[in-house]
Amino acid sequence: MPPKKQSGGSSSSKVKEDKTFGMKNKNKSAKVQKQIAAIEKQQAQAGKSRAALEKEKEKDMREKAKLEEEKRKREEAALFKPVQAQKVPFGVDPKTVLCAFYKAGHCDKGNKCKFSHDLNVGRKVEKKNLYEDTREEKLQDTMDQWDEEKLRTVVLSKHGNPKTTTDIVCKFFIQAIETEKFGWFWECPNGDNCQYRHALPPGFMLKSQRKALEEAEKANTISLEEFLEVERHKLGTNLTPVTPETFAKWKRTRMDKKQAEEEAMHKAKETQAAAGKNSGMSGRDLFTYNPEWFEDSDEEEEEDWDLSKYRRSDGAYEGEFEESTENLDVQDGSEGSGD
């Protein structure tokens, strides 16, 4: 059998070395590298048919189009699909988690961001103990053992910064606080996208604290009986006891005093009225002095004329006058005939 032909790899490399012989800065100059790449391409195409070259060209074009499509998709994802909002598990401090927007380079919250802007924050977090379950501690750490500062800390760690600008506090959140059902594992019935605030309002006081304050205020107040008893002891001993006789005397003296005051007031009004005749009293002063002067009497109402009644009475009077004149004429006629 004839010996097999050796591959043309050695000859091609020899041709390449021959054509690039004498070039300076082969490994440094970009221009020389382009020339070397062109030589390699010519050498690779040497001895191939036109159909094979066209197939390779189509393959290169497909690969190039594929790379461009992937690049376009990445750019569209960066433009139309921003970084997804981060979710922190319950009980984890958001400041121990690196902000995804800051990592992507476009977080506009600055110092107000609830997540950390420290790229080394992941290295500073304490390693989790695999032999302890922290949920058991949180189950035992109930709300009745918290003070106001601890409650605000837990609320901030669970809900973070408020997502909305409204000042209305979620009613479920307030109910959970008042009934002491709020804890590490409490969840709002409205879900994670609740539009109301999950933060304690300013000046908020726990129900237990408010109850203790009310009890302290009640303890400091005294009843009406106790107040009267204290005031009675302040009066001393040299006093007149209250009996039916002393009470009747006191009442009679009081009524006489009241009557004397009324008489003095009436006399002062009369004096003022007498003085007002010369100086002239106003209508208000006259009405204050004697309102009866300004009341309409019933007699004046009866004196008003009734026109229909007058006409009836006038007609009757005229009829009587005509009858009397007729009788008078008849009598005159009878007397004349008798003569």
DSSP track, 9-32: HHHHHHHHHHHTTT-S-TTT-HHH
Average pLDDT taken over every residue of the chain: 72
pLDDT range class, residue 2, cuts 50, 70, 90: low
62 within some domain: no
Secondary structure (3-state) at 149 = helix
40 within some domain: no
What is the pTM (predicted TM-score) of this model?
0.24
pLDDT in tens, 52-109: 878 888 998 999 999 999 988 877 766 665 667 778 777 778 888 888 878 777 777 8
Same domain? 113 vs 149: no
Contact 284, 290 (CB under 8 A): no
295 within some domain: no
147 within some domain: yes
Q: Among residues 194, 215, 236, which one ends one of the domains?
A: 215
Same domain? 121 vs 174: no
pLDDT range class, residue 234, cuts 50, 70, 90: confident
Query: What is the C-alpha to C-alpha distance for residues 258 and 78, in angstroms, rounded to an integer?
Result: 96
Distance of CA 274 to the CA centre of its chain: 68
Same domain? 176 vs 204: yes
Contact 94, 115 (CB under 8 A): yes
Angle between helices 30-45 and 9-19 (to 10 degrees): 140
303 within some domain: no
Query: What is the C-alpha to C-alpha distance for residues 60 and 66, in angstroms, rounded to an integer?
Result: 10
Same domain? 206 vs 147: yes
Phi, psi of 197, rounded to the nearest 5 degrees: -75, 140
Predicted local confidence at residue 101, as pLDDT: 78
Identify the domain containing residue 99 by its residue range.
Answer: 93-126
Same domain? 115 vs 162: no
| Tokens representing residue 97 in the block | 């988690």
185 within some domain: yes
Same domain? 208 vs 184: yes
Query: C-alpha angle 123/124/125, rounded to 5°?
Result: 95
Closest of 271, 134, 147 to residue 209, by C-alpha = 147
Domains in the chain, number? 2
Lowest mean pLDDT among 17-31, 52-66, 82-96, 188-202: 17-31
99 within some domain: yes
pLDDT in tens, 276-307: 655 556 677 667 766 776 666 555 555 555 55
Contact 197, 167 (CB under 8 A): yes
Query: What is the C-alpha to C-alpha distance for residues 187 and 192, in angstroms, rounded to an integer?
Result: 8
Secondary structure (3-state) at 169 = strand
pLDDT range class, residue 248, cuts 50, 70, 90: very high
Contact 159, 199 (CB under 8 A): yes
Q: Among residues 215, 234, 257, which one ends one of the domains?
A: 215
Query: What is the C-alpha to C-alpha distance for residues 258 and 56, in angstroms, rounded to an integer?
Result: 128
Distance of CA 174 to the CA centre of its chain: 14
Average pLDDT over residues 318-336: 53
Predicted local confidence at residue 130, as pLDDT: 47
Distance of CA 325 to the CA centre of its chain: 101
Predicted local confidence at residue 315, as pLDDT: 56
Same domain? 165 vs 103: no
105 within some domain: yes
Q: Among residues 126, 150, 172, which one ends one of the domains?
A: 126
DSSP class per residue in 180-245: T--STT---TT-TT-SSB-SPPTT---HHHHHHHHHHHHHH---HHHHHHHHHHHH-S------HH
